[in-house]
Structure 1
Amino acid sequence: MAKNKKTTIQDLANYANVSIGTIDRVLHNRGKVSLAKRKKVEEAIKKLDFNPNLLARTLALGRQFEVCSLFPEATNVHSYWALPKIGVDQGVEVYRDFGMELHTYEYSLFNESSFVKSADAILGKNPSGVILAPLFEKESLEFIAKLEERDIPYVFIDANIKNKKNLSYIGPDLEGSGYIAGKLLNSLLGPSDDILIVNMVKGFENSAHTALVENGFRNYFKEHGSRTRRSVNSITIPSTAETEVNRELTTYYIKNPGTKGVFVTNSRAHLISKYHALHELDIKVVGFDIVPGNVTELKKGNIDFIISQRPVFQGVTAVKALFDFFVYKKSPAAIQYVPLDIIIKENVDYYINFQ
């Protein structure tokens, strides 16, 4: 069987070369089944790692588990937000035979009203559970208040809102990831080299996760910057359009020619590094996530470090957390931090192949 694929009754029937009806009679110990066929079915159950007790339990519950996900839209198959969606799809596929169904909703990172529209659509479905990336804090708080009114369990991924009733947060230690980025960038710079933090987000004040990442980054330099003479500044660009990004960078670099390092707080570091390469600027870059644009720029030497936050794993784990809660009434750990992997051009292919 393929890795991560849940064994189905049909798989058992195919392996044992018997009918689905025979499988059913063996699993539920009813009707007549020859000893030879029973042995074949029992062998199939063992070889294919089938869990009849779990199936029986979910069937006994007599219900479907409808899960809704609400993530930022993946602008193309190579964008970051395509990755946690892949993880959720993989997780739901594992449990599909046990009554789990998925409904996918998205919102624009540059349009809060799109979040509200998708959130309202989810409430209209009254799902069994929700997997949410709460990147717009204000709108997310309003949404989860309505989920809690209906006793709908929800899981956060990628970004966390503290002191809420979410089953779990699955994602990076946001401040820790910024701190690591600071340490990495500092290792590349001299004591007088200035640093720029680039946030590409609409409404920085409503983006708590980005603020946490930036705060962690700044904390590193507060703790280790006593012997340096550098400045650490930040800009917020409310777009990922290259023309607008380039315009903002040009304006900033003209006024701040001492900038020698850039930290990008999302997966768009490749937009910054391509600008540097085009204008022949020797500026070090640290960013997040193994998306194709970042990998290309990393291999060219235009990005120095990428911090991977395992977005596919986040999606898979969120689904499992909900399923265990539905079936076993088992509450997951409130916080499940994912490992943060440091990727350089020399190990990126090994990492991608392993993943």
Structure 2
Amino acid sequence: MKKAKKTTIQDLADYANVSIGTVDRVIHKRGKVSPTKQKKVEEAIKHLNFNPNLLARTLALGQQFLICSLLPKASNPNSYWNLPKQGVEEGVRDYRDYGFVCNPFEYDLFDESSFIENAEAVIKMNPNGVILAPLFEKESINFIQILEAKNIPYVFIDGMVPDQNNLSYIGPDLKGSGHLAGKLMSTILDSSDDILVLNFVKGLENSHINTIEKGFREFFGSSQETRTGKINTLTIPSVKEEDITRELTKYYIKNSGTKGVFVTNSRAHIIAKYHAMYELSIKVIGFDMLQANILEMKCGNIDYLISQRPISQGSMAIKTLFEFFVHQKSPLKIQHTPLDIIIKENIDYYINFNESREVDQTNT
């Protein structure tokens, strides 16, 4: 006779459609849980015939799992890179009762040496697992080789290095996001209009951003054979206002036919402000709902934002490592996050949605 499978805390979470942390709070009667979720968990416990006393024997509660994250440093409080960091912190809070702790390390997005320095610091910690945004490809590969030699599993978020032994990649379909941006751009420009692909990054060949640009160009190559307008690329390895103003001014003097700009990261607000300052009527598409991007969109200076759900990327990375270590569950190699199309008319909905999500998580 086949032995019945024991119900786990993960089974309860899946049935109730809540986080494992929420289930834990209900079982141990600690922390705040909304009445709705309390009821869902209690119904799951009853329906699945779960015995809370088995929890201590089925999970390694006394063991500590040290996770190190290596992500770009946020340039300001409203920077994109605060968002995946926030997601990692939320994930750790969900699983801290099971021994999960995280030591965050950050590198300068315009300085490869800072990546190398912080990668070395991570290795010295000898963590159980690593969450990595591998935006410097060559340096990331060197780091990965050391992790693999030490049998330390690692999860990519936001960007990925192909053909590696990462436990999982969590983030957008990079080429797909570029393809989506191309499709959006084609709806607001004529086929004769010139387009600028603008990168604010150091070392384009050493970054996942070239994959995004490839998707953008492939859309026009496959779907717009009759297109006569040019698609140019400008890479500015700086976010300093004087550097940007100088490079953009030089570019626009030589390329006055530019009617659309695709910014390949979350810094669309930078060029949107430039256009507004010089009264240039140029369409702009970029990524992510940063406060600065939201403001420029509401002012009519950004036409589309593509949200990559960076907070979810961070929390999903922690969840993936938890399930791997505690439940010995191998994750999907690729876990794509949805791409949300944000326009001026629906941006308030997404703002309210994200705010309610944060309140809900605070009360779980």
**TM bucket, shorter chain:** 0.7 to 0.9
Distance 1:328 1:47 in 2: 23
Q: Aligned partners of 2:185 and 2:31: how far apart in 1?
A: 55
CA–CA distance in structure 2, aligned partners of residues 274 and 14 of structure 1: 44
In structure 2, the residue matched to 1:264 is 263
SS in 2 for 1:83: helix
Structure 2 residue aligned with 1:25: none
- Find the aligned partners of 1:156 and 1:112 in 2 and give their Cα distance: 18
Instruction: Indicate the residue corresponding to 1:326 in structure 2.
Output: 325
Alpha-carbon distance between aligned partners in 1 of 2:113 and 2:56, rounded to the nearest angstrom = 40
Q: Displacement of 1:59 after TM fit?
A: 3.3
Report the alpha carbon displacement of residue 228 of structure 1 after superposing the two structures with TM. 2.1
What does residue 342 of structure 1 align with? 341
SS at match of 1:187: helix
Q: Is the 8 A contact 1:194 1:259 kept in 2?
A: yes
The answer to whether residue 58 in structure 2 is matched with residue 57 in structure 1 is yes
Percent identity over the alignment is 55
- After TM superposition, the structure 1 = structure 2 runs for residues 41-80 of structure 1, keeping only pairs within 5 Å, are 46=42, 53-59=54-60, 62-80=62-80
Number of positions where the alignment pairs a residue of Structure 1 with one of Structure 2: 324
How big is the shift at 1:204?
1.0
Displacement of 1:10 after TM fit?
Answer: 9.9
Q: Check conservation: 1:70, 1:105, Cα contact below 8 A.
A: yes
1:12 — aligned with what?
A: 29
Partner of 2:358: none
Give distance in 1, aligned partners of 2:157 and 2:53: 31
The equivalent residue for 2:295 is 296
Q: CA RMSD in A?
A: 2.2
> Within 2, Cα distance between the matches of 1:93 and 1:300?
37
CA distance in 1, matches of 2:117, 2:54: 40
- Structure 1 residue matching 2:29: 3-state secondary structure: helix
- 1:94-144 per-residue CA deviation (whole Å, 9 max, x = no partner) reads 000010001000000000010011111110010010000000001100001
Partners of 1:67 and 1:127 within 8 A in 2: yes
Is the Cα contact below 8 Å between 2:200 and 2:265 reproduced in 1? yes
8 Å CA contact retained: 1:306, 1:342: yes
What does 1:153-168 align with in structure 2 at a 5 Å threshold?
153-168=153-168
Distance (whole Å) between structure 2 residues aligned to residue 295 and residue 59 of structure 1? 44
Task: State the shift of 1:46 in Å.
Answer: 3.5
Spell out the pairing of 1:118-129 with structure 2 (5 A cutoff): 118-129=118-129
Match of residue 195 from structure 2: 195
Q: Alpha-carbon deviation of 1:331?
A: 0.7
Indicate the residue corresponding to 2:360 in structure 1.
none
Deviations 1:278-326 (A, max 9, x none): 0000000000001011100011110000000000011111101101110
> What's 2:3 paired with?
none
Go from structure 1 to structure 2 and tell me whether the alpha carbon gap of 1:52 and 1:354 turns closer, same or farther (over 3 Å shift): farther
Distance 2:98 2:275 in 1: 51
In structure 2, give the amino acid aligned to 1:245. Answer: I
Structure-2 separation of matches of 1:195 and 1:287:
13
Residues 153, 166 of structure 1: 8 Å contact kept: yes
The match for 1:242 is 241
Do structure 1's residue 221 and structure 2's residue 217 form an aligned pair? no
Post-superposition Cα deviations, 1:241-262, rounded to whole Å, max 9, x if no partner, equal 1221111110000000000000
Aligned-partner SS, 2:276: helix
Distance 1:59 1:205 in 2: 44
Residue 315 of structure 1 aligns to which amino acid in structure 2? G
Q: Is the 8 A contact 1:57 1:327 kept in 2?
A: no
1:190-211, CA deviations, whole angstroms, 9 ceiling, x for partnerless residues? 121100000111111111x101
User: What is the deviation of 1:176?
Assistant: 0.4
Distance 2:276 2:101 in 1: 46
Alpha-carbon separation, structure 2, partners of 1:195 and 1:53: 61
Q: Which runs of 5+ in 1 are unaligned?
A: 16-42
Shift of 1:48: 11
* Counterpart for residue 38 of structure 1: none
TM-score (norm 2): 0.85
* TM-score (normalizing by structure 1): 0.87
Letter aligned with residue 110 of structure 1: F
Q: Secondary structure at the match of 1:198?
A: strand
Q: Deviations over 1:50-100 (max 9, x none)?
A: 96544443336x420000000000122211000000100000100000100
Q: Secondary structure at the match of 2:201?
A: coil
Is the contact made by 1:55 and 1:98 (CA closer than 8 Å) also made in structure 2? no
C-alpha distance 353-163 of structure 1, shift in aligned 2 (>3 A): same
Point out the structure with max Rg over C-alpha: 1
